[in-house]
């Protein structure tokens, strides 16, 4: 089979044969798919098998593969040039659209990935508060940021390892992981680390644990506790942004964070 052949070659050239742990499919006991093309709601693998795509590039392909309007816009952009190294009118218009859509956003910094967005948000929170400690929630994933790969429930968690190899202990010591949907645990950690916490970062809906919604009042508690502790509240809306509503989870639940991170949903997967 062509897919198995490609997987064999990939194992020789790419660690684990894939460029993202979730593509390895080891948790479901089958070799990874190698896709050759896609259209609409279908993907086709290297062996010519057709699949209905319920994944949508892990979320951002809300309009499916090869949507006419998106293809036309991409072609027009290619004709104008794809890499300037300078500012453009388009980025100003995009920043305006994002700030108009998401209730808490006043200014936008564009980066290349969700990981860079969370990394920048953490750095900004630490710089603004002059503190170092970050609070996250067990099982929530915030990208490949060393200080956030603590009990993230991703990657190596597939192999029953709760934390990620390669993260120095010093980084982990600055990240406090508490149970999701447990407001009392949040209050306790703020009490025991008073004056040291820079920010709380949370997936408003815990996507990496199976899309677990916040318990009633949980996000409100986070807003109140962070405000009282003079820490920032960061909503990681890489998964919820523009999906639960045009304004994301913060619009749906009526809780405004200090910082919001968004991912490739902004460009429909591009």
**Which two three-digit tokens encode residue 138?**
């067990």
**Which two three-digit tokens encode residue 268?**
């429909």
Q: Which of 141, 151, 180, 258 is catalytic?
A: 141
Q: Which of 151, 180, 236, 258 is catalytic?
A: 236
Q: Which of 53, 132, 196, 264 is catalytic?
A: 264
Told to judge if 132 belongs to the known catalytic residues of this protein, a careful annotator would answer: no
CA 220 to mean position of chain CA atoms: 22
Strands of 58-107, DSSP E: none
Told to judge if 47 belongs to the known catalytic residues of this protein, a careful annotator would answer: no
Told to judge if 236 belongs to the known catalytic residues of this protein, a careful annotator would answer: yes
**Which two three-digit tokens encode residue 262?**
């968004």
**Which two three-digit tokens encode residue 62?**
């809300």
Helix (H) and strand (E) counts in the chain: 8, 8
Instruction: Count Cα neighbours of 117 within 13 Å in the Cβ-side half-sphere.
Output: 25
| Residues 6+ positions from 207 with CB-CB distance below 8 Å | 141, 239, 240
Using CA atoms, how far apart are residues 89 and 157, in angstroms rounded to an integer?
42
Using CA atoms, how far apart are residues 219 and 233, in angstroms rounded to an integer?
10
Catalytic (active-site) positions: 141, 236, 264
């Amino acid at each position: 089979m062509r897919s198995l052949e490609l997987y064999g070659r990939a194992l020789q050239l790419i660690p684990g044969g894939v460029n993202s742990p979730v593509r390895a499919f080891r948790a479901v006991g089958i070799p990874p798919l190698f896709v050759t093309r896609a259209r609409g709601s279908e993907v086709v693998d290297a062996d010519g098998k057709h699949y209905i795509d319920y994944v949508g590039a892990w979320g951002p392909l809300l309009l499916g593969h090869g949507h006419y309007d998106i293809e036309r816009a991409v072609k027009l952009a290619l004709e104008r040039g794809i890499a300037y190294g300078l500012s453009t009118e388009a980025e100003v218009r995009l920043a305006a659209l994002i700030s108009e859509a998401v209730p808490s956003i006043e200014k936008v910094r564009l980066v290349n990935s969700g990981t860079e967005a969370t990394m920048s948000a953490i750095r900004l929170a630490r710089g603004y508060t002059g503190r170092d400690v970050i609070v996250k929630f067990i099982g929530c994933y915030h990208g490949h940021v060393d200080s956030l790969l603590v009990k993230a429930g991703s990657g190596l968690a597939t192999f029953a390892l709760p934390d990620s190899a390669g993260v120095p202990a010093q980084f982990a010591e600055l990240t406090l992981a508490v149970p999701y949907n447990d407001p009392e645990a949040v209050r306790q950690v703020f009490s025991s680390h008073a004056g040291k916490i820079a920010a709380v970062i949370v997936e408003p809906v815990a996507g990496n644990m199976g899309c677990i919604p916040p318990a009633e009042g949980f996000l409100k508690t986070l807003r109140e506790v962070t405000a009282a502790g003079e820490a920032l509240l960061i909503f990681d809306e890489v998964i919820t942004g523009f999906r639960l509503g045009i304004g994301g989870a913060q619009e749906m639940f009526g809780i405004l964070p200090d910082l919001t991170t968004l991912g490739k949903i902004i460009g429909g997967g591009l």
